[in-house]
Amino acid sequence: MRLPGGSDGGRRNTGGNGPSTLPAGTIGPPPPRRPARRQVCRTTSGRSSFRAGLPLLLPCRFAEPDRSVAQVVTACLNHTPRIPRAAVAPRRQPHFAGVPHSQGRLARCRIPPALPHFSRVNAEALRLESTEASPPLLRARGLTKVYGSGPAAVRALDGVDLDLYPGEFVVLLGPSGSGKTTLLNQLGGLDVPTAGDLWFGSLNLARASEAERTLYRRNAVGFVFQFYNLIPSLTARENVALITEIAARPMDPEEALRLVQLGERLDHFPSQLSGGEQQRVAIARAIAKRPAVLLCDEPTGALDVRTGVAVLEAIERVNRELGTLTVVITHNAVIADMADRVIHLMDGRIQHQRRNPQRVPPRALQW
C-alpha cells in the first residue's frame, strides 16, 4: 500500500528476527501487543494500603487519570462495603526498644512496653497501690504551652506539675479555656510544650523527635473523642481491625468489642448503630492496641444520660479489667465521683485536686 504522495511516513517493519526497512511506500504490520495483565492501582508509597494500615487492592477501573489516591480509596470503599476477614488479619510487629526494626532509628526509642492484660484482681490491686508502690507512668514538670507571641500570647498551660499512675482513673474538670484539652494533647503526644518536661518512662516527650512521638502514640496511647470518627463503609469489627493492623501487640477485634458489650454487633455498620454504640466502637478501637494510657475528651458530650451511662460503664470496665491509666476530660462534674482522682484546672494551672475515698459506679451517679 502506498501513501498519498508516495511517502511511507517513516514506518519500519519491527517484526521478524530483527529490524528491517520495508520497501519505500509500504507499511508493515503493527508491533505485537504484550500479554494483558491485571493491573493494580497502588499508593505513592509502593504498597497497596489504606492510610491506617489496612491492605487494599484497588481495581484500576476506579483509577482515572484525574483522580487522587484518596478519591480512588473512597471509590473502592463505597463499591465494596464489606472487606474479607483475611484482609484485616493482624500483623505482628516488633515492639519498642531492644527489638530489631526495619527503621533502625525507631528501635532505639526508649518507650516502656504497654501494660499487659491484667486480670481483674491484679488491675484492682494495681489501682489501689499505684500512688504508693509504683512510679508514675506520666510525669509532668513545669509543663507550659504558649500560643502566639507578644501582647497576643496566650498561656494555655502555665507550669503544670502532675504525676499520673498506672491503673488510675483521673477526671479533669474546668471551664472552657482552662487548659484541659491542651493538657490532654500534651499527654497524648499530639503537641509539643513550649517549656517544661513530660516523661513517659524514660522518654521525655518534650524533647522527643517526631518519629519517637509517633511510635508513642501508635503503641502506648488510645484516644476517644466526642465524635466517633468511624469509617461508614466498614463494620464495627473492621473499624477496630484498622488499629490492630498497625499496633505492636493488639488484641483481637472481637475481644475488644466484647469488652464494651458489643459482641453481638460485630458485623453492623455505623449507620445501623445508635450513638452510644458507635462511641463504644470508638472505645474498642482505642483499646484494641492494649494501650498503657487511654485519653477521653468529652466522651459523653454528644449523648443523652442513658446512653452516656453505657459509655462510661465501658470506659470504667476497660480501666478495671485492663489496668489502663484512664484520663477523662468533661464539663459534667457528676462524672468526677466515679474517678480515683479529680483534678480542677483554671487558667492553665491546677487549681486543686482531690482523691475520692470510693469510686461510684456509673449507674449510681446522681445526674
Note whether residue 141 is domain-resident. Answer: no
Stretches where the chain sits below pLDDT 50 are 1-18, 20, 38-63, 65, 69-70, 72-73, 76-77, 79-132
Note whether residue 269 is domain-resident. Answer: yes
Looking at residue 217, its pLDDT comes to 94
Note whether residue 247 is domain-resident. Answer: yes
Specify the CATH number for the domain of residue 307.
3.40.50.300
Looking at residue 23, its pLDDT comes to 55
84: exposed, middle or buried (C-beta count within 10 Å: 0-12, 13-18, 19+)?
exposed
Tell me the C-alpha distance between 363 and 367, whole Å: 10
Looking at residue 186, its pLDDT comes to 96
Domain count, the chain: 1
Looking at residue 249, its pLDDT comes to 85
Note whether residue 70 is domain-resident. Answer: no
pTM (two decimals): 0.65
Looking at residue 31, its pLDDT comes to 62
Note whether residue 157 is domain-resident. Answer: no
Note whether residue 293 is domain-resident. Answer: yes
Note whether residue 315 is domain-resident. Answer: yes
Pick the closest to residue 165 from 293, 339, 291, 313 (CA basis): 293
Other Cβ atoms within 10 Å of 302 Cβ, number = 16
Phi-psi region of 276 (alpha: psi -120 to 50; beta: other; left: phi over 0): alpha
Looking at residue 24, its pLDDT comes to 56
Note whether residue 329 is domain-resident. Answer: yes
Looking at residue 26, its pLDDT comes to 52
Range of the domain at 300: 117-135+165-195+203-364
Residue with cell 470508638: 282
Looking at residue 150, its pLDDT comes to 85
